[in-house]
Structure 1
């Protein structure tokens, strides 16, 4: 028996998929669920978020991306042209640890051509072909974002701007978790999963700073130092 047969989230997802197909019959190539509901092992209890992807034949067609609460269920609707989404799946970006799960784990609601299988295969193929430099280069981008957020959090804390400092510290934690994911080729289900699995959930300012320092040393050892010259900046080395 399908564990989500009576889940209101699944019911809402099916309703949205059916409505999108009826309203945009010539535009919708595939509709799928991603995130916790796609994994089929969470205990959202019907009140969790539903992530929906609508793949269209052409860019700019189909419904507009949107987020709404429907019957108590938060629905995040992502709409993308199929070819553009495949291009994204073939790339290793600084946010790869937070986006890969959308390419690999989906539950189809409408997929007559098997496009979702092609999406997964394209992403896994890109991972198999990717060189270490692609991951370390992306990790360095994430590291700089984490360092900037951590430095900002420290300044705000010194000014007793506690609420803002906590927000920036959260950004620093997530960026550091993303760096860890890139260096180890590990992707996560969502930001919360990322900070939990990397041990950064609840890490304080000093602990996050220590993690960033270790990551900078590892990046330098892998040939991607976080510090450089003006020429390095302009040439992207």
Structure 2
């Protein structure tokens, strides 16, 4: 298996895309390690291709190329801007790709508008909006944790371990929403929030603390049916 320089490979790929779809492609950028300039041998390459119109440009793909896993996301520029303006429960894991988008060719001057659109949305976001997103993420963490406990009681250790790992990430995402903190990826989220290695009891305590914080911010996570709607 031949392993090439990731930055050089990304630049060469962008050049080929530009050459073949020049009339359709508005900008080409990289996210992840390339955008943070900490790429190394074997780094995954994550490219975003913005087109002028939907359904044009290269096809989205995920392939192994010269020792690197290459992912190409293709979206019309209005759609990409719309995504940058959205806040969802997965914001802590997705914001980085909007805020750190590295141009891969000289024709990609449009890319900073993605960052600007996301920053403008964050400026408009209220504390209550983030609290509501955190409440949704908390429900996911609590549900996954309950299922992990149940799997353990049934002696299904494989399922319990998988569910526990997912519950840790959901708890990390909840922390990110409570503190308006975004992460590079799931591993970064788990490491920075301290959920790595937490067992079922320790994670349950963390989730309970999150529930108490959410109650302070407006209403409890467990409400009577009459207060649901």
* 1:7 CA displacement: 6.4
Superimposed CA distance per residue, residues 70-122 of structure 1 (whole angstroms, 9 cap, x where no aligned partner) = 01101121111211111111122101110110111121013636221111111
For 2:99 and 2:16, locate their aligned partners in 1 and report how far apart those are by CA, in whole Å: 25
1:187 aligns with one of 171, 175, 182: 182
What does residue 45 of structure 2 align with?
50
Partners of 1:19 and 1:159 in 2: CA distance:
54
TM-score by length of 1: 0.90
- 1:114 and 1:102 map into 2 onto residues whose CA distance is 17
* TM-score, structure 2 normalization: 0.93
Match of 1:141 among 123, 136, 142: 136
Secondary structure of the 2:104 match is strand
Equivalent-residue separation in structure 1 for 2:227 and 2:97 (angstroms): 34
Distance 1:27 1:139 in 2: 39
For the aligned residue pairs, the C-alpha RMSD in angstroms reads 1.7
| Structure 2 Cα separation of the partners of residues 181 and 212 of structure 1 | 13
Q: Could you tell me how far 1:60 is from its partner in structure 2?
A: 2.1
Report the 3-state secondary structure (helix = DSSP H, G, I; strand = E; otherwise coil) of the residue aligned with 1:223. Answer: coil
Asked if residue 125 in structure 1 is aligned to residue 120 in structure 2, the reply is yes
Q: Which residue of 2 aligns with 1:3?
A: none
Residue 31 of structure 1 contacts residue 111 of structure 1 at CA under 8 Å; is this kept in 2? Answer: no
Q: Secondary structure at the match of 1:58?
A: coil
Specify the alignment match of 1:154 in structure 2.
149
> Once the 2 structures are TM-superposed, how far is the Cα of residue 229 of structure 1 from its aligned partner?
3.6
Q: CA deviation at 1:217?
A: 1.0
Gaps of 5+ in 1: 1-5
Could you tell me which residue of structure 2 aligns to residue 36 of structure 1? 33
Number of aligned residues = 227
Q: 1:64 and 1:158 mapped to 2: Cα distance?
A: 46
Misfit runs of 4+, over 3 Å: 229-233
Q: What residue is the counterpart of 1:21 in the other structure?
A: 18
What is the DSSP-based 3-state SS (H/G/I as helix, E as strand, rest coil) of the residue aligned with 2:26?
Answer: strand
| Partners of 2:11 and 2:31 in 1: CA distance | 13
SS of 1:153's partner is: helix
Once the 2 structures are TM-superposed, how far is the Cα of residue 123 of structure 1 from its aligned partner? 0.9
| Structure 1 Cα separation of the partners of residues 152 and 12 of structure 2 | 47
Matches of 1:231 and 1:70, distance apart in 2? 56
**Aligned mate of 1:105, from 100, 105, 114:** 100
In structure 2, the residue matched to 1:199 is 194
CA distance in 1, matches of 2:26, 2:227: 44
> Does structure 1 residue 165 correspond to structure 2 residue 160?
yes
